[in-house]
Copies of this chain bind each other. A is one copy, B any other.
């Protein structure tokens, strides 16, 4: 650390440390004093020590971001949004991964609290289990992203999963499909629930009888979906179209269908979830529901900052961002 302190600045500027502190924190100053302090800071190359500052004021200008997996495409885009929004405000981001484990999530939440972050953005591992309880005396703001948690009253930024799924299934129906399989996610995750709801609602609205065999569940983790797709295509009366409800399961659906040498967009139709540019480079390109990941990150960051700055208007706020459907020839017209 450069050893220049507020005291040195005060000495050189011929004012008291209190005044220098007031300058730093943007309070009103006599013009002459401001000038002198500015000059002294410049001359000494003074840098504020965030540890000393934080110790006294318990503000660290740092937030925590906790996600299930750093290498996940969707998570990455979210983080990019958060970083963009936070960097401009001179806030730093402490990042950690819960590795899809509730235990690790709890541990890392505690770790972030122990580090005295000013707020946390978290994508929960599960919407049912949320073992973590913040110590009651230290209530820093928390914003959920992507997934809600039952009985937890916190701000959240999610995407419109019901309608996202609805639009996908509707598209499948409009292409003439009646036998539509879904790789549904674990029902302890709110997004998975909502996407299944969207599926059901679309079938209902179009008077299509729900066939339970067409609903299979898969974990939302890296290897999820392999078994599920196998089950679907192995049915005696298999679906003509498959709707896969998150990124890893979509990747794995593709993998399985290809291994089975089923021609996508012909023998079997596929619609997935979450965009990666490579999906559009397949033959045929893959239909997907696209979530505004980056914007979700930005929105979560903005909301968190509002709370950090003490503005608790409308708490708890649930912001739902619209999804977009990319319809391609991976879905056959029948």
A96 engages B94 (CB within 8 Å): no
Instruction: Determine which of B54, B79, B283 lies in contact with A70 in the assembled complex, contact meaning CB atoms within 8 Å.
Output: B79
Give the number of times this chain occurs in the complex, counting copies: 2
A83 engages B55 (CB within 8 Å): no
Is there a chain B Cβ closer than 8 Å to A31's Cβ?
no
Residue in A48, A87, A108 with the greatest tally of chain B CB atoms within 10 Å = A87
Which stretch in A109-117, A190-198, A237-245 binds the other chain? A109-117
Is there a chain B Cβ closer than 8 Å to A80's Cβ?
yes
List B contacts of A96 (CB < 8 A).
83, 87, 92-93
**Which of A221-279 touch B at CB < 8 Å?**
251, 254-255, 258, 276-279
A94 engages B135 (CB within 8 Å): no
List B contacts of A55 (CB < 8 A).
49, 51-52, 55
Whether A51 touches B62, Cβ cut-off 8 Å, given contacts A77-B71, A254-B281, is no
B97 engages A95 (CB within 8 Å): no
B80 engages A1 (CB within 8 Å): no
B51 engages A116 (CB within 8 Å): yes
Instruction: Determine which of B1, B108, B138 lies in contact with A138 in the assembled complex, contact meaning CB atoms within 8 Å.
Output: B1
A283 engages B281 (CB within 8 Å): no
List B contacts of A58 (CB < 8 A).
1, 51
A50 engages B114 (CB within 8 Å): yes
Is there a chain B Cβ closer than 8 Å to A2's Cβ?
yes
14 other contacts beyond A251-B281, A258-B281, with CB at 8 A cut-off? A1-B58, A3-B137, A51-B51, A51-B60, A55-B55, A62-B115, A69-B80, A71-B77, A79-B95, A80-B97, A83-B95, A83-B97, A258-B283, A278-B279
28 CB contacts below 8 A, A to B, read A1-B137, A2-B137, A2-B138, A45-B135, A50-B116, A51-B54, A51-B55, A51-B60, A52-B55, A55-B55, A70-B79, A70-B80, A71-B76, A71-B77, A71-B80, A79-B95, A87-B97, A87-B108, A90-B111, A92-B96, A92-B111, A92-B115, A94-B95, A254-B281, A258-B281, A278-B278, A281-B282, A282-B282
